[in-house]
Amino acid sequence: MASAFGVLAAIIAAVVAFGYGKATSTTAPSAEAALRQFRAHNPSPSATAGLPVAAPPATPSPDRSSPSGSAASPSPSAASSPAPTRAAPRASAAPAPSPTGPCGWDCPYQGVAASGVYQWFQCGRTSGQCTGDPSEPQAVETIGLAIPLTRPLPRSGVRTINVTSPSGFSLTHAYESEHTETYDVVGDATGIYMTHMGTSVSVLGIASSTGIAQAPRFPLYLFPLAVGKAWSGHWDDNNHNAAADYTCTVLDTTTLSIGGRQVQTWLVEARLHLLGPKTQGDVDVRTWFAPRYSQTVQEVWDDSLVSGGVSYRAQWMSTLASLQPSR
């Protein structure tokens, strides 16, 4: 039995040591509690079917582009500036971005994302959008041993956004009660940057977590965005879990239907090569970033990692169900 627990501990280490791209914040509410509360008010018709899809508005309200200006160009050292001081205690109020007028791809920086708990649909495909329909392929994560351990992800999860400072916020995404990822983000007119990311995973009741403190901070988006624009760099991990090289490329502009509203987004691909010392491998993520709302509305993750001789493989898509938080 002791050896079995040792194997499980190694499995968990393989899952949690990579920290896909999220962050731990001591001021954020419990993601597991948010997930339980959300599902308590939105029961699934079966164990495998996701949360019911909220009815979209009768008349979609599309965003409209306007020549309202663009954000200032980033300074040459923006991607390599020192990591900022950790976020201050959570602000009592989380003001939503307030555009001066309708705008889409051309929106200047709108400030921090609006706080709240948001429903996200989760599926296994890598094209189109997740809608929560039970007919969609289900996302799975696989831990590679002599007999691979595969676990499906539910068709719905929740993401909690907390404002932590005038320029920063934390995101906590609960893919299920035993798989939570968090990350800390700061932003200004030059771009949006990640400063810390982490993962918490539980397997058969045994829980573990890890975090990566990025130095310098990782530029998720550098303004102004333009199709074909690319940037690359390296971060060291002050927590000594995983340094990384990265390359980011703006692939396209795309309009997505989110909760019945047409949202203009930038499709940005980030390729991360984790160098250890604890975890090595590759994480490829595509995000659909909506400037008007200062947040992504769709993501595709493709992870191939090794830690302690144990492999982790997962691929999933997630799509924001509504621009309005559930609470």
| pLDDT computed for residue 206 by the predictor | 58
- At position 206, the amino acid (one-letter code) is I
pLDDT category at 225 given cuts 50, 70, 90 is very high
| pLDDT computed for residue 74 by the predictor | 38
The domains of the chain are located at 21-42+71-320
Q: Which residue has the higher pLDDT, 215 or 179?
A: 215
Q: What percent of the chain has pLDDT over 90?
A: 45
| pLDDT computed for residue 148 by the predictor | 77
Q: Per residue in 64-117, pLDDT tens?
A: 333 333 333 333 333 334 444 444 444 434 444 444 456 888 899 999 988 999
Give every CB contact of residue 28 below 8 A, 6+ residues apart in sequence: 90, 160, 162, 170, 172, 182
- Mean pLDDT lowest for which of 139-148, 239-248, 261-270? 139-148
- The residue-averaged pLDDT of 189-206 equals 83
- The residue-averaged pLDDT of 147-176 equals 91
Q: Which residue has the higher pLDDT, 326 or 301?
A: 301
- The residue-averaged pLDDT of 33-60 equals 40
| pLDDT computed for residue 84 by the predictor | 41
| pLDDT computed for residue 322 by the predictor | 94
Count Cβ atoms within 10 A of the Cβ of residue 64 and give its class: 0-12 exposed, 13-18 middle, 19 or more buried.
Answer: exposed
List the end-to-end C-alpha distance of the chain, in Å, as a whole number: 44
- The residue-averaged pLDDT of 58-66 equals 40
| pLDDT computed for residue 221 by the predictor | 97
Count Cβ atoms within 10 A of the Cβ of residue 100 and give its class: 0-12 exposed, 13-18 middle, 19 or more buried.
Answer: exposed
**Are 243 and 237 spatial neighbours (Cβ–Cβ below 8 Å)?**
yes
Q: What percent of the chain has pLDDT over 70?
A: 65
Q: At residue 56, does pLDDT exceed 80?
A: no
- Mean pLDDT lowest for which of 1-15, 124-138, 291-305? 1-15
Among the listed residues 134, 137, 140, 144, the one whose alpha carbon sits nearest the alpha carbon of residue 152:
140
pLDDT category at 176 given cuts 50, 70, 90 is confident
Exposed e or buried b for every residue in 182-200, given b needs 16+ CB within 10 A? bbbbbbbebbbbbbbbbbb
| pLDDT computed for residue 141 by the predictor | 85
pLDDT category at 205 given cuts 50, 70, 90 is low
Q: Which residue has the higher pLDDT, 8 or 201?
A: 201
Q: What is the DSSP track for 46-69?
A: SSSS-PPPPPPPSS----------
Q: At residue 14, does pLDDT exceed 60?
A: no
Q: Which residue has the higher pLDDT, 199 or 132?
A: 132
- Mean pLDDT lowest for which of 23-27, 112-116, 280-284? 23-27
Q: At residue 18, does pLDDT exceed 90?
A: no
Strand-strand pairing, 261-277 and 280-290 = antiparallel
pLDDT category at 125 given cuts 50, 70, 90 is confident
Q: Which residue has the higher pLDDT, 69 or 141?
A: 141
What is the residue-averaged pLDDT of the chain?
74
- Mean pLDDT lowest for which of 10-14, 96-100, 172-176, 256-260? 10-14
- Mean pLDDT lowest for which of 134-148, 185-199, 290-304? 134-148
